[in-house]
Structure 1
Amino acid sequence: MKKQEKALGYAASTIKSEELNAAKSGSVMAGLTGKVAGLNITNGGGTGSSQKVIVRGISSFSANQPLYVVDGVPVMNDFQGEDSFSNSVDFGNQANDINPEDVESVTVLKGASATALYGSRAANGVIMITTKRAGAEKLSVTYDGSFMGSSVLRVPQTQDRFGQGWGSFGPMENGSWGPVLDGREHMWGPFSDGSEGLLTPLSKPFSYVKDNLRNFYETGFETNNNVSIRMGNDKLGLVASYGNVKSDGVLPGDADSYARNTISLRGNMKYKRFSAELNLNYVRKDITQAAAGQGDDGATMFTEILQHAVDVNISGMKDYTNPYFNTDNFYTAYAENPYWVLDHNRNTYQDDRAYGKIELAFEIMSGLKAVGRLGGDFTNATQKRWNEKISFASGSWSELGGKKEQPGTYTERRDKVEQIDATAFLNADYKIGDDISVNGLLGWNLNQQTNSYLKSYLYGLEQPGWFNLANGVDKPMTTTSSEKRRLVGLFAQAEVGYKNFWFVNASIRNDWSSTLPQGNNSFFYGGVNTSLIFTDLFEDWKSDILNFLKVRAAWGQTGNDAPIYRTNSYFTPTQISLGFGDLYLPINNTLGLTEYNRLPSKDLRPEITTEWEFGLTTHLFDNRLDIDAAYYNKNTKDQIISASLAPESRYTSMTRNVGKIANQGIELAVNGTPIRTKDFEWGLGFTFSKNWSEVKELWDDVKEYKLTSSYQVDFVAEVGQPLGVFKVPALAKTEDGKVIVNNNGMPTIDASKKDVVGTSAPNFLMGFNTHFTWKGITLSAVLDWRDGGVFNSYTAQLLTFAGNSTYTVFNNREPFVVPNSVKVVNGQYVENDIPIVHWGGASSAVNSYYNNASNYDQYKNWVLPKDYLKLREITLSYTLPKDWLKQTPFTLVQLSLIGRNLFMWTPKKNNYVDPEGTNYGNDILSEIGEFGAAPTNRTFGGGVKVAF
């Protein structure tokens, strides 16, 4: 049921195709960034990487992503990849499969009243995507293409004073805890090779290598080509399109490539009282990525390059077949040649996806229509990961240095994901007299999702270079899983309008969910909203200054069911931990199954979100200035989590309903045209949003719930705090606030508590866009500003551990005493005089002071500010005058220069990474930060669009 702007009693923001695709991002959500108030979009590293979309703040401990609806049908948006801190890879989320060039508009529904009609999956908002349709037009063909180059937006800043070594110069060390860089020649690397005898020692200047990390990366490229054909008349319309996105990223070689091909066919027809719509889409993706995270030795490249000393030229080791730079003789036992890692350790992903709908409608009588809609979304995916076997020649530098050999691994996983969504409803639209309009619908919906996978893992490869499950003495460990969930709903909606200035809308829905226990699997919710147009109620209010004024109010509830299989026990293959490793059953024809360690719950209830909203919309100065403002207040209760249990219960956790999360906020969107003449126009847009969140309660007497952690940094939900605060080890202090140190002069920790050092939530989000148009020339730009919030950075931690971060040159590494500290002498606190020295001596060395294993106080220094200001888009386009095209077959020719993410500012403390980078997926756990995540990119290039 399409709604006019007057009737909307809730917040809804719409972005049209031209604005969405101005920067040729290849992603629908990237095109929305900075343009919608209340929408927090976090973009990943390269082409095709996942995006996190949060509408009006995080309100759930587990699921916060909105529902994506394409032409009235929900589509899947699963994260694809691995999000563990040890070995992560990001193949994107399924919303990225939608070709932006097929999109006519995107509407963001934010409030519970607006989303109640879409069911429990819409509890976090709805992204409504409307695709392009053909009207009564003759055959037309459009080509829209772009070619972009890409480079790394930011690499960590490193110190430039101290070189290779660990206390003193060491030719086999990978850190920068050595002497002061003096520019003189130093021998380094391997001195001997058991297979070839003595090698001539290498030498290099003991000097800082400028742009060492940045020069490791290359210039990537991205092409985006789209062709569409449209034709139609008043009874039949047809659109066919093909899109191809291909990129080779910034890593050397082909270690990060992405290819996406999309084919779309959309048709609509009308015959007398019968109408039909068809939307069919096919997507094929082929992706190669380098793993991020900690990993095993040599398994991940991003952490490898961060540990090289600042005087070791990384790009000079590109030829890993060179006897000095191969695995046998690589200069350090603590890292691997990153070029070898890129060529021998890979993650690949391929999928085939088909989604779409068939919709039939019949006009039973004037004003009453019956509609049936069947949607489907089907994906078959294959993911492969391999880490090459590493063994060393006898007597080689690596063997003599005690470097660990790697047995090699291979993993293969096949996923099958299906969704069926069926809807049938009656739609009524009537007038009662001249003053009252009534419309409504009554319907039924079924949504069924099926997920299955088969995963095989082989540990120990026999033949190097052959990545196959048959390449091992041991059998691969194989796991399978099959899941099915079903949601059935009945819904109704009614809207009454009076004299086209007052509208009241109400919606109700009841869902039955298969993931909730019997007795609690039926839940009812709904919403009501109203809008009053004062400029129609009081027509004398209208003037050249005030053109339109509407106020609105809304109340709504949405329910949300549980994750699958939380109400019953299930079994997994038995795994026995031994001192030398793990033993997996079956073994010797004996099968072992173990009940999963999560206690099933028979009392689960649905999560319920209740929200109030008030808003105002006005158009001023002959519609040259538009203002939309909103205030909302929402509470989510009965969160569904896995809460810890006492060990004596035989289980480690139990799924249960807990807590209450409160969010309230304000949103403001302003669009204006300060100057408009015959040939020139200047337009401005501004968005602002601020959200306050608070954990009101958890369960029983529990005041804190750990969401996740990284080493000693906890990311928690704590009563009385915003959802998602960071806690680090607290220093032991005297009553007057002095730090207590140990016998080595190192700060000590108060084991009884942890300190809060910030929240992941921003203080506010702000977007600014502008455009200038003069005689076919258009210059436009989008700025995105985030203020406040923090994140944890393993990149900063690792650089500090290796002595490479600028933070480690405090006091030029001269001896220093921990400020404002005391030591214990004969049971009394006295002023501390124990220095932290560069190396050796009775007290601690500087590198130990900066090492988290020796000094837990360091963890707070790796929780960094999340503030940023980004130039998201800048485009310069020229559309040829139509008079120039009269004697050609073309109806449109447009040329453009494009830049995306060309500039980023962050606070001085974060001179390490882009705050948006993460490798923890795309929901609440990603709020903790990054763990050796891939860097984000800037892109620049040009495009051409022609139509005939």
Structure 2
Amino acid sequence: MRRILFLATLLTFFVPRLWAQEKKVVTGTVKDANGTLLPGVTVMEKGTRNGVMTAADGSFSISVQPAATLVFSFMGYETQEAAAGNGALSIVLKDDAKSLNEVVVTALGIKRETRKLGYAMTELKGSELARTNAINPVAALQGKVAGVDISGAAGGPQAANRIVLRGAKSLNGKDQPIFVIDGVIFENETADDAVNFGNVLKNFNQDEFESVSILKGAAATALYGSRAINGAVLITTKKGVTRKGLGVDVSQTVQFEHAYRAPIALQNVYGAGTTGFFNKDADNRNVIQWAGSNSFGPKMEGQMARLPNGEFVPYSAMPDNQMYVYQTGKYFNTNVAVEGGTDKANFRFSYSRLDNNSVEPNNKFARNSFSLRSSAIVSKWLSAEGGITYSFSNTLNPNRQGGDYTTQNSGRKWIYIFPRNYDPAYWSARYLGGPGRTTLQQDLLNDINPTHPGADYWFSLDNDRWERDERLLMGNMSLTATATDWLKFLVRGNFSNEQNTDDRRELGWGPNFGGSRGLYAISGTNRTQYTFTGMAMFSPRLNNEDFTLDVNLGAETWNSGIGNQYSARTNGGLRIPGQYTITNSVGPVDASNNKMLARKQINSIFLSGSLSYKNAFFLDVTGRNDWSSALMYPGGGGNYSYFYPSVSGAWEFTETFKGSLPAAITYGKLRASYAVVGGDTDPYQLNSGYQMEQLWNSGTSTGMPLYYLYNKDIFPNDNLKPSMANSIEFGADVRFLNNRLGVDVAYYKTNIKNQILNLDVAVESGVSKRFINAGNFQNQGVEIAINARPIENKDFSWDVMLNGSRNTNKIISLGEGITTYEMGEDQGLRVIAQVGKPYGVITTNYGYTPYQSTDPSKNGKPVITTSSSFPYQFQRGYAEVGNITPDFNLGLNNNFSYKNFSLGFLLQARIGGDIFSASHQYGTGRGTVESTLAGRDAASGGLAWTDNEGRARNDGMIPDGVFADGTTIRTPSGAEQEVGGMTYQEAYEAGYVKPLSPYNYYSMIGDWGIGIREASVFDASYVALREVSVGYTFPAKMVERWKLTKARVLLVGRNLGYLYNNLPDDINPESLRNNKTSAFSEYGGAPFVRNMALTVQLGF
């Protein structure tokens, strides 16, 4: 018996070691469902720490025990296990958009498991943005994330878009999220009202985006401080991977852009004129009434008629004349990336060249971008990571908007200036005259009755040039020191430098292109910011294994506004036409905006702690204190120090009740958070002291003499405090049927108090502005995201993702004695914040005045009065006419996969939210828009009548309104008659008034002088087919024969059309004048453009 026990003991001691000596090598490849080989996949021997990562070609080789089980894991894919076996393994990982152990990037670049987060966040793969081929990454997010409201702008493909997370939060116009790109913070800056060159975001290469995280709530962004009070979009770029040799990724995209519809639908029945008839010359020949550029003339039926220049042509419709200037846009993007690395160091270098010729005339964008990212394990205790990006771009002639650039605003010309019989091919060939064709063909002071209409427009398209060069240099570096297995130290620094130069050139309109209109203007900005961060990261071992704890303690300093701006422009024309230098100015040079940029510094300390209990309860606590130079006064005082905390918690109830819940419930988590985030203001806004200026120095941006200008416009507030946003959030994430169905819901509520507002003051005070703390702005809403996989089998899968959000808000208070605060104005309308009402109310003093009567058939109808320029007009008065906030935002994404093929389409909807259309307003007054066809003949509701010239007509129109009390008119018989209190219809039936001609009727609504702006405010709801994509990944065996690691082709259509558009006359609902949060108007708009792109991606 003793011998048996002795032998058994020997066996138990030696057999495991014999097995350990009999390890075998297992090889194989890992790819995704499309057959793309996956580098960087973690391959672990289950139950051990033995593991490797797949190489760039997806291959792996690992030595394991003979009966081992291998575990394959990769972010964004389901973890999979496989027995080691005897042959080579071929592993196919399935996409898993909702992996339970998904790791995401959160504030300050800290990686966390989503299951442990007590707030809502969304992470997208960088490829989701890159495949849209949108120059600005904001546009690429449209419809893909709950709680994100994105609106387009009309400046062209490079234009900056508006993005708002969980509703507007600020009354001072600064309520868009920050963008954090590899740790460097950028703002989605607002663009000029009329000329939208875009902002710095267009200078980044989206092909190099690895992931994009959207942090919407205050708890998610608290560690970023006051700059992230409106949320944050975190972008992490790609880095090198461990592999054998060098790897090369190449992608080439060719895209064509087609303008398939004008910014607004125009009628093609009636041409130039106001009376519905031709004028006649001495020979009784037809003469077109061109005066005033109206389109209330005769029907266009091919009659011969004389043009303003004396020639006779057929008077015919030009159905597509407003599309004449648009061209087929072309987009080319080449991206080449080289990467390599060992287990000690890696790198990735990329170069991208993008060229885009827009559909807009002479609107171009070109960009070159270089980036390098590298990391290294310097020693056992020290690692380093860094990157640098350099980009330079050129934007030429953005699409002009509004009335400030009447000559260059294409949309406005066709709506307001050109009648519907205008032949662009004819007039564009005749805009020059004089000796050598060096003079504009018309006297622009006679725009009411020109001899060569549109000459200024064609001249501008061919000769004017407004160009911007931009250069961006961005870098980051971090060092991580591991002191123990529970203590690390991080030191990180980053910087960015932006240099922009504008060059504007315009020829004169006089002989030999001379005259006062000639212009040369140059301006530029050189701006630098930098940040240094230090952080200690603790992960102490606790005696109780049920608890885990992570603590981060850090300090940070951020400096911005280091640099200057300069500008100069000629005055009174160019002495030598076409010679574009500042010294060529006829008059004194205007160089009044040269100055050092206002500098700002924020110093901070912060603390964050994460505690978990039994891997089911998770608690996060943060605290941050900022010291802002913007809130410090010259004497050193002020409320420049402010602290704000956050706390969030999550309970994974499926872990607590494991095994006792219904089998259909795969995963469930409840979460809640409370957070406070502080905010400051721009630098030098609080002091009535001196500000640094510079003198013009021949166009150079450095070396300018400095001087100090006394700033006496601001009344100082010695007790200005930081604004504070207090936010709560509750949510749940529940998944069913083994992750085949998932629902994520969130409710949030934010109160922003003590906002820093800039108020105008009486001139008698000696200053123009004062800053105050005011207000309580409440914002709340709900979000829902549903993910489902209705079908899944060996070869086919179908994924559905639905997201939706609804946000409501209210102005609780504005401050003592303040009930209204104006946030924007255009064409006589304002968007305001008013106590007791929602944010973004649109008001005007040019609204309908409702008639007050006890007669319900008359009460509330518009009041009609007599007019000095027209027979009658509606009485204009103050009115609240709309609200800019949408009721709902929705997105529906479907992705199908069959073997190596993929198909996806995205629907995006914005329900509610009003806009003012100046195009509709003035197009109505001019008779150009399609909706003005109503009433112009008997078939469309016109009445038979005889005008004052004795001509029989069938286009009489009756305005729906009531004459103001006391109104006296002259009847057709010449008698005076009081009609006060009568409707126009009643007065007509009594014989007191005649029907109105279409010109007079529509002028009551849309004429610039007497029109009703309220009539052109509309609900801008729409449903868009935002994206359709078809892809094919070539099989691995075929790719290997080609000596490649991957090969894929992708066909993508963007902005393919609108399934529903609530706006009249097919107005483009995404053509706002700018990307400000308070933007509410369009004027000229942009054409409807769809894009079709082919992308080829290869890996070597």
Taking structure 2 as the reference length, the TM-score comes to 0.78
Report the counterpart of residue 1068 of structure 2 in structure 1. Answer: 914
**CA separation of 1:697/1:47 partners in 2, compared to 1, >3 Å: closer, same or farther?**
same
Structure-1 separation of matches of 2:932 and 2:451? 22
Deviation at 1:847, TM superposition (A): 5.3
Report the counterpart of residue 215 of structure 1 in structure 2. Answer: 324
**CA separation of 1:717/1:836 partners in 2, compared to 1, >3 Å: closer, same or farther?**
farther
Structure-1 separation of matches of 2:819 and 2:364? 46
Structure-2 separation of matches of 1:466 and 1:299? 21
Deviations 1:33-87 (A, max 9, x none): 11110011223343222121100000101211112112333235434x532xxxx
Residue aligned with 1:477, SS: coil
Deviation at 1:329, TM superposition (A): 4.7
Q: Partner amino acid for 1:181?
A: K
Residue aligned with 1:430, SS: coil
Report the counterpart of residue 281 of structure 1 in structure 2. Answer: 389
Report the counterpart of residue 379 of structure 1 in structure 2. Answer: 498
Report the counterpart of residue 195 of structure 1 in structure 2. Answer: none
Q: Partner amino acid for 1:176?
A: N
Deviation at 1:163, TM superposition (A): 0.6
Indicate yes or no: 2:806 matched with 1:654.
no
Report the counterpart of residue 410 of structure 1 in structure 2. Answer: 520
Deviation at 1:333, TM superposition (A): 6.9
Residue aligned with 2:440, SS: coil
Question: In the TM superposition, what are the counterparts of 1:746-785 in structure 2 within 5 Å?
Answer: 746-749=872-875, 751=877, 754-785=878-909
Q: Once structures 1 and 2 are overlaid, which stretch shifts more, 93-102 or 734-743? A: 734-743
Structure-2 separation of matches of 1:437 and 1:573? 53
Report the counterpart of residue 479 of structure 2 in structure 1. Answer: 360
Q: Once structures 1 and 2 are overlaid, which stretch shifts more, 698-707 or 278-287? A: 698-707
**CA separation of 1:887/1:809 partners in 2, compared to 1, >3 Å: closer, same or farther?**
closer
Structure-2 separation of matches of 1:651 and 1:682? 64
Indicate yes or no: 2:541 matched with 1:424.
no
Q: Name which of 250, 260, 266 aligns with 2:367.
A: 260
Structure-2 separation of matches of 1:240 and 1:297? 46
Q: Name which of 151, 170, 177 aligns with 1:60.
A: 170
Report the counterpart of residue 742 of structure 1 in structure 2. Answer: 865
Question: In the TM superposition, what are the counterparts of 1:406-555 in structure 2 within 5 Å?
Answer: 407-432=517-542, 433-450=544-561, 451-461=563-573, 462-478=575-591, 479-482=593-596, 483-517=598-632, 518-541=637-660, 544-555=663-674
**CA separation of 1:896/1:548 partners in 2, compared to 1, >3 Å: closer, same or farther?**
same
Structure-2 separation of matches of 1:340 and 1:869? 38
Structure-2 separation of matches of 1:509 and 1:34? 33
Q: Name which of 389, 400, 423 aligns with 1:313.
A: 423
Structure-2 separation of matches of 1:551 and 1:164? 66
Residues 795 and 912, structure 1, Cα contact 8 Å, conserved in 2 = no
Deviations 1:191-250 (A, max 9, x none): 4xxxxxxxxx32332222112212331111001111111211222111111111111111
Deviation at 1:549, TM superposition (A): 0.4
Choose 1 or 2 for highest CA Rg: 2
Q: Partner amino acid for 1:453?
A: Q
Residues 300 and 317, structure 2, Cα contact 8 Å, conserved in 1 = no
Name stretches of at least 5 consecutive residues in structure 2 with no aligned partner. Answer: 1-109, 279-287, 444-449, 694-706, 854-858, 937-941, 943-954, 969-977
Indicate yes or no: 2:740 matched with 1:624.
yes
**CA separation of 1:410/1:910 partners in 2, compared to 1, >3 Å: closer, same or farther?**
farther
**CA separation of 1:346/1:596 partners in 2, compared to 1, >3 Å: closer, same or farther?**
farther
**CA separation of 1:301/1:309 partners in 2, compared to 1, >3 Å: closer, same or farther?**
same
Structure-1 separation of matches of 2:1042 and 2:982? 90
Report the counterpart of residue 685 of structure 1 in structure 2. Answer: 801
Residue aligned with 1:761, SS: coil
Question: In the TM superposition, what are the counterparts of 1:46-85 in structure 2 within 5 Å?
Answer: 46-61=156-171, 62-79=173-190, 82-83=192-193
**CA separation of 1:912/1:345 partners in 2, compared to 1, >3 Å: closer, same or farther?**
farther
Structure-2 separation of matches of 1:628 and 1:528? 20
Deviation at 1:748, TM superposition (A): 4.3
**CA separation of 1:25/1:918 partners in 2, compared to 1, >3 Å: closer, same or farther?**
same
Q: Once structures 1 and 2 are overlaid, which stretch shifts more, 798-807 or 53-62? A: 798-807
Report the counterpart of residue 226 of structure 1 in structure 2. Answer: 335
**CA separation of 1:515/1:593 partners in 2, compared to 1, >3 Å: closer, same or farther?**
closer
Deviation at 1:906, TM superposition (A): 4.6
Q: Once structures 1 and 2 are overlaid, which stretch shifts more, 94-103 or 177-186? A: 177-186
Q: Partner amino acid for 1:784?
A: Q
Structure-2 separation of matches of 1:635 and 1:854? 42
**CA separation of 1:673/1:284 partners in 2, compared to 1, >3 Å: closer, same or farther?**
same
Indicate yes or no: 2:864 matched with 1:712.
no
Residues 837 and 845, structure 1, Cα contact 8 Å, conserved in 2 = no
Deviation at 1:936, TM superposition (A): 5.2
Structure-2 separation of matches of 1:357 and 1:876? 37
Structure-2 separation of matches of 1:835 and 1:690? 50
Residues 669 and 732, structure 2, Cα contact 8 Å, conserved in 1 = yes
Structure-1 separation of matches of 2:1087 and 2:579? 30
Name stretches of at least 5 consecutive residues in structure 1 with no aligned partner. Answer: 192-200, 395-403, 575-590
Residues 407 and 459, structure 1, Cα contact 8 Å, conserved in 2 = no
Question: In the TM superposition, what are the counterparts of 1:927-946 in structure 2 within 5 Å?
Answer: 927-935=1079-1087, 937-946=1089-1098
**CA separation of 1:266/1:836 partners in 2, compared to 1, >3 Å: closer, same or farther?**
farther
Which protein is richer in strand relative to its size?
A: 1
Deviations 1:484-525 (A, max 9, x none): 111111100011111110011000001011111332111110
Structure-2 separation of matches of 1:692 and 1:524? 28
Residue aligned with 1:808, SS: helix
Deviations 1:821-851 (A, max 9, x none): 12424695344436576669xxx93353234
Residue aligned with 1:310, SS: coil
Residue aligned with 1:24, SS: coil
Q: Once structures 1 and 2 are overlaid, which stretch shifts more, 507-516 or 714-723? A: 714-723
**CA separation of 1:871/1:775 partners in 2, compared to 1, >3 Å: closer, same or farther?**
same
Deviations 1:163-204 (A, max 9, x none): 11244544544623342224233444444xxxxxxxxx3233
Deviation at 1:652, TM superposition (A): 2.9
Residue aligned with 2:158, SS: coil
Q: Name which of 195, 202, 206 aligns with 1:89.
A: 195
Report the counterpart of residue 237 of structure 1 in structure 2. Answer: 346
Deviation at 1:540, TM superposition (A): 1.3
Residues 526 and 557, structure 1, Cα contact 8 Å, conserved in 2 = yes
Residues 427 and 455, structure 2, Cα contact 8 Å, conserved in 1 = no
Deviations 1:302-349 (A, max 9, x none): 423332111112244343566599721595577445332112222100
**CA separation of 1:153/1:648 partners in 2, compared to 1, >3 Å: closer, same or farther?**
farther
Residue aligned with 1:536, SS: helix
Residue aligned with 2:1053, SS: strand
Deviation at 1:17, TM superposition (A): 2.5
User: Across the two proteins, how many residue pairs are aligned to each other?
Assistant: 899
Residues 162 and 176, structure 1, Cα contact 8 Å, conserved in 2 = no
Structure-2 separation of matches of 1:761 and 1:556? 24
Q: Cα RMSD over matched residues?
A: 2.6
Residue aligned with 1:811, SS: coil
Report the counterpart of residue 403 of structure 2 in structure 1. Answer: 294
Structure-1 separation of matches of 2:710 and 2:410? 36
Residues 887 and 913, structure 2, Cα contact 8 Å, conserved in 1 = yes
Taking structure 1 as the reference length, the TM-score comes to 0.90
Indicate yes or no: 2:265 matched with 1:157.
yes
Greater RCO (CA < 8 Å, at least 6 residues apart)? 1
Deviation at 1:597, TM superposition (A): 3.2
Q: Partner amino acid for 1:183?
A: E
Residues 963 and 980, structure 2, Cα contact 8 Å, conserved in 1 = no
Residue aligned with 2:730, SS: strand
Indicate yes or no: 2:1010 matched with 1:855.
yes
Report the counterpart of residue 923 of structure 1 in structure 2. Answer: 1076
Residues 76 and 377, structure 1, Cα contact 8 Å, conserved in 2 = no
Residues 136 and 160, structure 2, Cα contact 8 Å, conserved in 1 = no
Residues 388 and 473, structure 2, Cα contact 8 Å, conserved in 1 = yes
